[in-house]
Amino acid sequence: MSVQNQTFIDKIFSCCMHQPQNEEDNEIKSNVQSIKNSINFDYSNLIFPKKYIRQDEINKITFTDEGIKNFINDLISLNYVEKFKNEDLKISELEYSIINQNIFNLRCEAIKPKSLFKNKVPSLKEIRDAIYIPEQRLEWDKNTKSIDLLEQIDDKTVIVQSITQKLLAFISERELIEKRYEYYIGDNQYYNFASSVPDELYPPQSEPVRCTSYISVFIIKEDENNFIFDSFNQIDIKMNVPQNLITISFPIKMKEFFNKLIEYINKKNE
């Protein structure tokens, strides 16, 4: 059984209410519109039953195997504005969003040399398992309170609930309920797509605060010397966060994410 789950502590600082700063950028608009125009929603061959698809996703994402793969390829090809860069981490922003124009859409690219893994180089699947198997993720991600598999649709497709710990005095526990789909391309590429299910399927409670995941994509690739990570996140955390806090905090959070992940794998392989 393939149990997928990427919790959203590594995303939560990447997304907030945010008006596009450059709405007149015709090139960005054109690229995004080309995705929208290329999608003709088809309910046949769905990877998720229709009830899991939100109304605002219809005609924007085709939920078939081919449709998800095409959507991710198009997402990668869009133009992004660089916000932060060092030797192994790059943060950039898509200023004109595909689904919700008012929410940050951030991309994080990271390159981690295999030499960082001291005892043995893990397989791509071992890295995937450390991130997505709940029991493993909770061992090293202390910012996550709980991860629950709500439904197993098939061996690639699940419905998952994630709840964060209280992050700061002004950010209470947050919850996501997402549909997730994963696939491999060959032996050296892994892809995970997620977005929120309609709230009416799992009505929100007063606590924790229910967030909306519009786009959540996580990619792991492997070459001879490195693991290459690429993620795209657009999440409404139901509060306004100053843009300067996002700019400062997100690189720190992502650095911590990868450090803790590598530390866990190294300890596991002792």
Question: What's the CA gap between 217 and 235, in Å, rounded?
Answer: 11
Collapsed DSSP state (helix, strand, coil) of residue 238? coil
How confident is the model at residue 5, as a pLDDT?
Answer: 47
Tell me the average pLDDT across 57-83: 92
What pLDDT is stored for residue 1 in this prediction?
A: 43
> What is the band of 32 on the pLDDT scale with cuts at 50, 70, 90?
low
The mean predicted confidence, pLDDT, of the chain is 85
Structural domain includes residue 2: no
Report the candidate in 87, 86, 37 with the shortest Cα–Cα distance to residue 62.
37
Q: What is the pLDDT of residue 105?
A: 87
When pLDDT is cut at 50, 70 and 90, the band that residue 42 belongs to is: low
Residues paired with 184 in a beta bridge = 190
pLDDT at 169: 57
Helix (H) or strand (E) holding 236: strand 226-236
Is the pLDDT assigned to residue 24 strictly greater than 90?
Answer: no
pLDDT of residue 210: 96
Number of domains, the chain: 1
* Per-position b or e across 21-45, b if 16+ CB within 10 A of its CB: eeeeeeebeebbeebeeebeeeeee
- Nearest residue to 192 via CA among 120, 260, 137: 137
CA distance to 6, 117, 131, 237, per residue, from 250 (Å): 17, 24, 18, 14
Q: What are phi and psi of 9, to 5 degrees?
A: -60, -35
pLDDT confidence band for 160 (50 / 70 / 90): very high
The whole-angstrom separation of Cα 176 and Cα 215 is: 12
What percent of the chain lies above the pLDDT cut of 70?
81
Specify the pLDDT at position 29: 52
Does residue 3 lie within any of the structural domains? no
Structure tokens at 45: 């061959």
Is the per-residue pLDDT at 59 higher than 80? yes
Q: Which residue range is the domain that position 50 belongs to?
A: 9-268
Quick one: pLDDT band at residue 91, thresholds 50, 70, 90? very high
At 101, which CATH number?
3.30.530.20
Would you say residue 112 has pLDDT above 90?
yes
Residues 6+ positions from 5 with CB-CB distance below 8 Å:
132, 133, 134, 137, 147, 149, 158, 160, 162, 180
Give me 26's structure tokens.
């015709």
Asked whether the predicted pLDDT for residue 136 surpasses 90, the reply is yes
pTM, whole model, 2 decimals? Answer: 0.83
Backbone angles phi, psi at 226, to 5 degrees: -140, 160
Whether 4 is in a domain gets the answer: no
The reply to whether 68 falls in a domain is yes
**Does residue 91 lie within any of the structural domains?**
yes
Q: Is residue 1 part of a domain?
A: no
Residue 169 falls inside a structural domain: yes
Task: Give 224-244 pLDDT, tens digit per residue.
Answer: 999 999 999 999 988 877 766
In one-letter notation, the amino acid at residue 216 is S
